[in-house]
Amino acid sequence: MAALTTDPAALRRTVTVDRARLVAYADASGDQNPIHQDAEFARSVGLQDVIAHGMWTMGAALDVVTAYVGGDPGRVLSCATKFTGMVVVPEGETVEVLVEGAVKKADEAAGTETLDITATCAGEKVLGRCQAVVRV
C-alpha cells in the first residue's frame, strides 16, 4: 500500500458564495432557516442582509482539508469550529471567502496531524478556533 501523501499547496483557496448556492445548501443540508434566503426576513430579525449558513462556511473550509489529504474524505477524522462572524450575501453578488490552513502539530505515534483553519470574508475572520485532525 502506498504511503499517504499530503498536498500543502491545497491549504489556500478562495471559495465563493451567492444566493443560488445558499438555496442549494439549504436543500442539501435541510437547514431552511429563512435568514439564509430571504432578505426581508433577515432584516426583520436585525441582520444587515441574508447571511450564509455558518455550516456552509465550515463545509467549504473543510473541503480544503479534504484536498490536503489527497481528496480522501475518510482521512478527515474530526473537525470543529466556533462561529465568530457572518458572511453577508447581498442579492446579485458573488461573495469571496478566503480559506487558509496550516499544520499546527503532528503526532507521529498516532499518525495524525492537527490543522488550524481560518476563513476570512471582507477582512473579518468568520470561523474561530477551526481545527481538523487528519490521518497522515
Partner 1 sequence: MPLNTDYAGREYPPAGPFPVTRAEIAAFADAIGSTADAHRDAEVAQALGYADVVAPPTFAVRLAQQCESQLVQDPEAGIDFSRVVHGEEGFTHHRPIVAGDVLTGVLHVDRMREAGGHGMVTTRVELSGADGQPVTTVTSTIVVRGDS
Query: Collapsing DSSP states into helix, strand and coil, what is residue 110?
Result: coil
CB of 101 to partner 1, least distance (A): 13
Select 72 or 116, whichever has its Cβ closest to partner 1.
72
Select 79 or 123, whichever has its Cβ closest to partner 1.
79
- The phi and psi torsions of 11 (rounded to 5 degrees) equal -85, 25
In the numeric block, the cell 467549504 is attached to: 60
Which residues of this chain interact with partner 1, rule CB under 8 A?
15-16, 21, 24-25, 27-31, 33, 45, 54-56, 58-60, 62-63, 65-67, 71-74, 76-83, 132
CB of 135 to partner 1, least distance (A): 10
Burial 121-134 (b: 16+ CB within 10 A, else e): beeeebbeebbbbb
